[in-house]
Amino acid sequence: MSGLVRRAFLISAVVGALVVSASPAAAARPGTFEFSACWDGDGVVASLSWSGFRVSQYSFGFGQDNGDGLGFFEPITPATSGSFSNDWLDSVDNTVDLVAGGVYGHSQRRAIRSGEVHRPLGGWSALDPC
């Protein structure tokens, strides 16, 4: 992960902001959004994709159900479709409740769309393999 472009930060509610910030109007917007997570044998790989709406940045994060966690926002050239994966989630262990990701327009205040995957009962290694 390039420290020059990505802005990582540890704050309360980073993950909470990812999973609860999508506005109710987002459900009525055209287009598609998908978020998924899988196990690559060493850690969690999170992926997101979208089409049909303009995105200026995306985010990935992990943390607790109470909103505590670590995440980052990645600015991109505005695009109406795209996909990104993140394998830096190797540090996700079985004390982490969820991984999340979202896409944003010009403002980071509200996700256009977001998703989350909770830790399976058998731990993160019980996710579908990548």
**pLDDT digit string (tens) for the chain, length 130 residues:** 333 333 333 333 445 455 544 444 455 557 999 999 999 988 899 999 999 999 999 999 999 999 899 898 999 999 999 999 987 666 788 999 999 999 999 876 789 999 999 999 999 999 999 9
Structure tokens at 39: 């196990």
- Please report, for the chain, the start and end positions of each structural domain, with discontinuous segments joined by +: 7-122
Q: Rounded to two decimals, what is the model's pTM?
A: 0.78
CA dihedral (80, 39, 71, 77) in degrees, to 10, reads -20
Q: Does domain 7-122 have CATH number 2.60.40?
A: yes
pLDDT recorded at residue 30 = 74
Determine contact, residues 52/30, Cβ cutoff 8 Å: yes
